[in-house]
Amino acid sequence: MLALSGTGIGRGIAIGCALVLDKSQNEVPQFQIDADRVDREVSRFNEAIATVRRELKHLQSNLPPTAPPETGAFIDVHLLMLDDPLISSQPGWSIQNEKINAEWALKNHADTLVAFFDNISDPYLRTKKDDVAQVVGRIMDVLTEDKERRPNISTLDHTLTDRIIVTRDLSPADTVMLRHRHMTAFVTSFGGPISHTAILARSLGLPAVVGLHGVIDTICDGDQLIVDAATGTVLVAPDDRLLAQFQVLQEQQRKQRQALAKLGKEKSVTLDDEEITLLANIELPEDLDALDGSGAAGIGLYRTEFLFMNRAQPPEEEEQYQAYCQVVKSVRGPVTIRTLDLGADKQVDGGRDEPQAAITPALGLRAIRLCLSEPSLFKPQLRAILRAAVHGDARMMIPMLSSLQELEQSLSLVREVSAELEREGIAFNPNVPIGGMIEVPAAAIAADLFAQKLDFFSIGTNDLIQYTLAIDRVDDSVNYLYDPLHPSVLRLVRTIIQAGSEADIPVSMCGEMAGDPVFTRLLLGLGLRHFSMEPSQLLEIHQQVRHSRLAELPGWAERILACTDSTTLHGLVDQLNVEEYA
Ligand code: PEP
Ligand code: MG
């Protein structure tokens, strides 16, 4: 038996079989061939192309009914790529004329194709290089007769159950595809506690352990695993005694969750009868199912960028309108639709290596910056949100604001599309409240100025912590610096709440901090009254709210903020959390 320790994500214990997905990084074999081998090498190459074409077509006609609708289009793109002369015919020419092996010939031409896509300015077309890599990877696997060809997420057998994915890393786009694959947990070599992948793990209700370097070489396919998210532990091939212990623990946790379920029907009020708004974060309309019984009073964050992932083209206005309508119509209470937050680790197809932005992508063309630089991408979304808002209590929220000019530009685009809709005679809601995510320190420090132009604030602590403490949220080597209780973070949170209160606009928090019961009392003490989180966290926060006496908390918050050393500060928060209020 082996015990591995990493960063636990989400909650719970999973027991299952390892399914190792290794994006193989084998060197491509490169050698000259003799003249008498040329014909055989060309046929070997042509057969590999034919095999991959057959495989893709087979996949295309055997898509499970639960596959996301865009999967078919995804495979079409790969079939088209396979027909590109640089992939299907020119390597044959190189084998003949340069007398090189098929893998080498393919690699050379694929590199040319990747460089071509790299130089395209349109970000969507640019991401096609990842499709090239996937198609070429398939051909390489056949050529190198990789008998242990690893599945990737898009081709995973949807009938597998009780599988625990073990892989180097999962992009948010990969993770979202796990929804359809009935996995019970995942374990990765990389990743941090507030990466979008971790957030998705929570939203899927999957326990996960990330940042386990070398795990790919330690765990084999089929190994029995226990994943304990609370402690960040992965037990490989546990003995019967341990297995039995964890099964008991798993059952206890299930009962505790069951006991909390009754809170879903209760009002979330403190012991001194103050009502606290608990809202849910969602990524896709299908997440609405998770809201059943959660007691969510609405949606505090709808991350619309997930609608744009794992597909060749961005969704058009109509498709977006339908998706937003579906959410707005099904939810009782407000629905806060966040405009596109693509960029950094959230690439449309999971690719992470745009050369220009590779150094510090989190500081690059992300979220509102990307949208303002591409009005053709942004305007259809604004129109779709304004139209969907006819059908319910929809609000619009702008992510990653760092300057008032960005806000002005965004508001002016909203006015522009409203005038267009008016002219076109299309129904829309001209009075949609427009709020901003306060998640960049610049906006937090100047929150009073932003408050004059916005209808509400939502504090994005994931990014606020990332940018304040200068720690890339996807870089596990600096995870240890992640600290929501860092005095700078707490001061910024207090500044934002105060600015909102002085301007008389609501302030909510939708970062992961809002869904962690360790911080509930402190945040209440700082004046926060609206919390938004992954649906799986709602009942636990509800319980914490019910056990808190609001009147006592501002004093604690003041003492915690006045602390001059981190150990005392953490100790005070622990004390605050064990305090029993009657
Ligand atoms: C945040 O930054 O806290 C947030 C909620 O947004 P995201 O995690 O999508 O960046
Ligand atoms: Mg954010």
Name all residues whose Cβ lies below 6 A of ligand 1: 199, 301, 303, 341, 439, 460-463, 510-511
- Report which ligand 1 atom has the smallest distance to the Cα of 462: 3
pLDDT, position 524: 98
Please give the span between the terminal C-alpha atoms of the chain, in angstroms, as a whole number. 46
Mean pLDDT estimate for the chain:
88
pLDDT at residue 148 in the model: 44
Neighbours of ion ligand 2 (CB under 5 A): 439, 460, 463
Give the residue numbers annotated as catalytic, written as ranges.
196, 510
pLDDT at 327 over 50: yes
Least confident of 161-165, 322-326, 406-410, 525-529: 161-165
What is the CA(196)–ligand 2 centre distance, in A? 9
Distance CA 309, CA 323 (A): 14
Q: For the sheet containing 224-228, what is the strand order?
A: 2-5, 233-236, 224-228, 13-21, 163-167, 183-188, 208-210, 7-9
- Taking only the tens place, the pLDDT of each residue in 519-543 is 999 999 999 999 999 998 999 999 9
> Which of 67, 4, 16, 22 shows the shortest CA–CA distance to 184?
16
CA atoms within 13 A on the CB side of 300: 30
Which atom of ligand 1 approaches the CA of 458 most closely?
A: 5
Say if residue 512's pLDDT is above 90: yes
Q: Is the pLDDT of residue 68 over 60?
A: no
Task: Return the ∠ at Cα 256 (arms to 252 and 260), rounded to 5°.
Answer: 170
> Which of 454, 292, 317, 436 is CA-nearest to residue 386?
317
Give the closest residue (by CA) to ligand 1 atom 10: 463
- Residue 283 to residue 453: CA distance in whole angstroms: 27
Taking the C-alpha atoms of residue 111 and residue 114, their distance in angstroms, rounded to an integer, is 5
User: What number is the average pLDDT over the span 61-78?
Assistant: 70
Predicted confidence (pLDDT) at residue 147 exceeds the cutoff of 50: no
Say how many Å lie between the CA of residue 399 and the centre of ligand 1.
Answer: 8
Side chain identity, residue 438: I
Q: Phi/psi zone of residue 527: left (φ > 0), alpha (ψ -120 to 50 degrees), beta?
A: left
pLDDT in tens, 250-263: 999 999 888 899 99
Mean pLDDT of 346-369: 66
Residue among 282, 369, 437 to mutate when testing ligand 1 (max atoms within 8 A of CB)? 437
Which of ligand 1's atoms lies nearest the C-alpha of 281? 5
Q: What is the pLDDT of residue 176?
A: 66
| Residue 350 scores a pLDDT above 60 | no
Q: Which residue has the tokens 């326990």?
A: 207
For the cut 50, the answer to whether the pLDDT of residue 151 exceeds it is no
**Closest of 87, 3, 52, 534 to residue 299, by C-alpha:** 534
pLDDT at 363 over 50: yes
Give the residue, out of 9, 341, 438, with the most ligand 1 atoms within 8 A of its beta carbon, to mutate for a pocket test. Answer: 341
| Pick from 299, 258, 261: nearest CA to 277 | 299
Indicate whether 158 pLDDT > 70. no
Tens digits of residue pLDDT in 15-42: 999 988 864 445 577 788 888 899 999 9
CA of 529 from ligand 1 middle (Å) equals: 19
Band (221; pLDDT cuts 50, 70, 90)? confident
pLDDT in tens, 269-282: 999 999 999 999 99
The pLDDT of 329-356, averaged and rounded, is 76
**Ligand 1: which of 439, 465, 466, 534 to mutate, most ligand atoms within 8 Å of CB?**
439
Identify which has the larger pLDDT, 237 or 182: 237
- Given a cut of 80, whether residue 423 has pLDDT beyond it is yes
Q: What three-state secondary structure class fits 542?
A: helix
Ligand 1 atom 1 nearest Cα: 460
Question: Would the pTM count as exceeding 0.85?
Answer: no
Report the nearest-CA residue for atom 6 of ligand 1.
Answer: 460
Task: Pick from 9, 369, 462 the residue to mutate for probing ligand 1's pocket: most ligand atoms within 8 Å of its CB.
Answer: 462
Q: 194: which DSSP letter?
A: T
Cα–Cα distance measured from residue 513 to residue 528, given in angstroms and rounded to the nearest whole number: 12
State the Cα–Cα distance between residues 291 and 297, nearest whole angstrom.
10
Cα 300 to averaged position of ligand 2 atoms, centre (Å):
13
Greater pLDDT, 442 or 85: 442
Pick the closest to residue 187 from 3, 11, 20, 350 (CA basis).
20
Distance 228 CA to ligand 2 centre (A): 27
Q: Average pLDDT of 80-92?
A: 89
CA 511 / ligand 1 centre spacing (Å): 5
Q: Which atom of ligand 1 is nearest to the CA of 439?
A: 2
Determine the pLDDT at residue 198. Answer: 78
Q: Quick check: 301 pLDDT over 80?
A: yes
Query: How high is the pLDDT of residue 244?
Result: 96
pLDDT at 356: 44
Decide: 530 and 507 in contact? Cβ < 8 Å.
yes
Structure tokens at 413: 């685009």
pLDDT of residue 150: 44
User: pLDDT higher for 217 or 499?
Assistant: 499
Mean pLDDT of 292-303: 95
**What is the predicted pLDDT for the residue at 146?**
53
Compute the distance between CA of residue 579 and CA of residue 512 in angstroms, rounded to an integer.
23
Question: What single letter denotes the amino acid at residue 507?
Answer: V
DSSP one-letter string for 372-428 = HH-HHHHHHHHHHHHHHGGGS-EEEEE-S---HHHHHHHHHHHHHHHHHHHHHT---
Percent helix, strand, coil in the chain (nearest 5)? 50, 15, 35
User: What is the number of the ligand closest to the CA of 342?
Assistant: 1
Q: Which atom belonging to ligand 1 lies closest to the Cα atom of 367?
A: 10
Domains detected in the chain:
2-23+150-241 (3.50.30.10), 35-144 (1.10.274.10)
The answer to whether the CB of 305 falls within 8 A of the CB of 342 is: yes
Reported as a single tens digit per residue, the pLDDT across 462-505 is: 999 999 999 988 887 888 899 999 999 999 999 999 999 999 99
Residue with CA nearest ligand 1 atom 8: 462
Residue 464 Cα to ligand 1 middle (Å):
8
* Ligand 1 atom with minimal separation from the 196 CA: 8
